[in-house]
């Protein structure tokens, strides 16, 4: 099972529009996980945009380090949610070329990280919505009640 997807420059650009607040300047999208997370290349290394957590980190120095880690079982679980992707596929949840898996109720809003909480969504729409949600809740203290989210 292929655990990553490549999208067009335009798709990446549209999907990442709502993530401006996280600091994507100088970073170029390379590929995405089946859950819409994105690996980005920059002069200082390779970055990981975690759409579920709403975070941006630089775990890799170069492309070889990315490949080496994603070739391991631990790396596939940590970054690509391989087990969850396989479970979704086994349940018959297949993805069209422009789709990724999406949590019906996002974990940041209290949803479970489980196959029971998965659906499919267009990559551009899903990642853009995730960025909007994370921007709206990022400054809330842990455990704060969330009474409303606006998606444009």
Taken as a whole, the chain contains a residue count of: 152
If you ran DSSP here, which 8-state letter would residue 70 be given?
H
What is the pTM (predicted TM-score) of this model? Answer: 0.93
| pLDDT, tens digit only, all 152 positions of the chain | 999 999 999 999 999 999 999 999 999 999 999 999 999 999 999 999 999 999 999 999 999 999 999 999 999 999 999 999 999 999 999 999 999 999 999 999 889 999 999 999 999 999 999 999 999 888 777 777 777 667 77
Around Cβ 112, how many Cβ atoms within 10 Å? 12
What is the rounded CA–CA span in Å between residue 151 and residue 141? Answer: 21
SS3 24: coil
Q: How far is CA 70 from CA 7, 17, 38, 124, in A?
A: 19, 26, 13, 23
Q: Where are the domains of the chain?
A: 4-137
Around Cβ 41, how many Cβ atoms within 10 Å? 18
Nearest in space to 99 (alpha carbons), one of 82, 124, 129, 134:
124
């Amino acid at each position: 099972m292929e655990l990553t997807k490549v999208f067009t420059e335009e798709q990446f650009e549209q999907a990442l529009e709502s993530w401006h607040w996280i600091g994507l300047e100088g970073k170029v999208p390379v590929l995405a996980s089946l859950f819409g997370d994105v690996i980005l290349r920059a002069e200082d290394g390779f970055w990981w945009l975690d759409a579920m957590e709403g975070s941006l980190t630089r775990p890799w120095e170069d492309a070889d380090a990315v490949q080496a880690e994603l070739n391991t079982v631990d790396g596939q679980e940590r970054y690509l949610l391989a087990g969850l992707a396989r479970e979704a596929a086994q349940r018959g949840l297949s993805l069209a070329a422009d789709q990724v898996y999406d949590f019906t109720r996002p974990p940041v809003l209290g949803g479970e990280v489980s196959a029971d909480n998965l659906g499919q969504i267009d990559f551009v729409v899903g990642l853009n919505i995730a960025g909007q949600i994370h921007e709206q809740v990022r400054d809330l203290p842990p455990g704060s009640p969330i009474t409303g989210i606006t998606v444009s």
